[in-house]
Amino acid sequence: MLDYPTLKLIWWVLVGVLLIGFAIMDGHDMGVGTLLPFAGRSDVERRVIINTVGPHWDGNQVWFITGGGAIFAAWPLVYATAFSGFYWAMLAVLWALFFRPVGFDYRSKLNNPTWRSVWDWGLFVGGAVPPLIFGVAFGNLLQGVPFHFDDDLRSTYTGTFFGLLNPFALLCGVVSSAMITFHGAVYLAHRTEGHIQARARRAANWAGLVLLLAFSAAGVWLARGIPGYVLASALDPAALPNPLAKEVVRSAGAWMANYHRYPATVAVPAMAYCAVLAALAWLRAGYTLAAFGCSALALAGVIGTAGVSMFPFLMPSSSDPRSSLTVWDSTSSHLSLGIMFWATLIFMPIVIAYTSWAYKVMSGKVTTAYVRKHDHSAY
């Protein structure tokens, strides 16, 4: 079996991969849902848009469920603390997600304009709200979350729901929303044609511009206005989990330290910028599949930037920095990480292979002619 510190680092990478996979796979259908009321001007156009993601949106939820399960299994202290502190925010995400299954299933049951319009806006809520809240959550992580542990390692959250809605966190919410909308617009341009595709391209241009500006603004703000966290004492990577067995201090510009310490990590935010620009260029040239691939790389770059900036911190504490959770002191046991690692090596390729096959089978353009011809089977 791999040694404990190596497994801790591997699971930091694997959880990051799962979060990026969730953003890419579930993110594009959330982005499509966000664009639904605006890219579709008639009922048949909106049915075309829904049918681009309708056959596989629920399969993409596997990434969401697996990501949550991996955090629970690999980082139980992070899971418990985050779900306590972000309780109402998590409920808001779940309430928004409720609109998706019922919206997809019931939207076309009645041929009534009011009925269908209500479900269209429900699908918009289910697509737009979760990315916004996830972005706000990341913004709060970068600033530190008000919680602390007692001597028995019981966490207490001392903040409020509205305290989460601070200016920097809302800016991160804009980054997340623009990122997912951009990704969904590129995907929609790939799967449609005509007027819908033209509107999707325009949406991608605007969302890409907002993403670049907001991502840049957040980076400048983080470097110059928000203190980061630094380990001020030695920490044994092989030790059993104990967040209180270290000292942590806050320092201006600390979130930029990893880029100075490991210059190669600059490639991660650089990839985000280059991938967005490349996606827009490929989209303009008509190579929509290449644009979608670059859009996926842009998501990996944005999310990876947050991970690289914070490493080794996972959930810093603003009220008691010593209670901050890191990669080294908030994980499961050596045995648990080892068993999960080998299970992941077996089942992850199966999930990826099946997903790839499903998308290959359902590839191609969705047109108004197709929706009209399959009126009783299409969404």
User: Are 43 and 119 spatial neighbours (Cβ–Cβ below 8 Å)?
Assistant: no
pTM for the full model?
0.94
Other Cβ atoms closer than 10 A to 369: 10
Q: Is 268 helix (H, G, I), strand (E, B) or coil?
A: helix
Q: Per-residue pLDDT tens for 116-166?
A: 999 999 999 999 999 999 999 999 999 999 999 998 888 889 888 888 899
Question: Radius of gyration of the chain from Cα atoms?
Answer: 21
Task: Give the C-alpha distances (Å, rounded to integers) separating 114 from 14, 108, 111, 117.
Answer: 44, 11, 9, 5
Q: Per-residue pLDDT tens for 213-267?
A: 999 999 999 999 899 999 998 888 888 888 988 999 999 889 999 999 999 999 9
- How high is the pLDDT of residue 239? 85
* DSSP string across 159-197: --TGGG--HHHHHHHHHHHHHHHHHHHHHHHHH--HHHH
Residue with tokens 């929303």: 177
Res. 112: pLDDT tops 70: yes
- How high is the pLDDT of residue 194? 92
First to last CA, the chain: 48
CA neighbor of 24 nearest in space, from 279, 283, 332: 279
Q: Could you state, in order of their start, the residue ranges of all structural domains in the chain?
A: 4-227+333-373
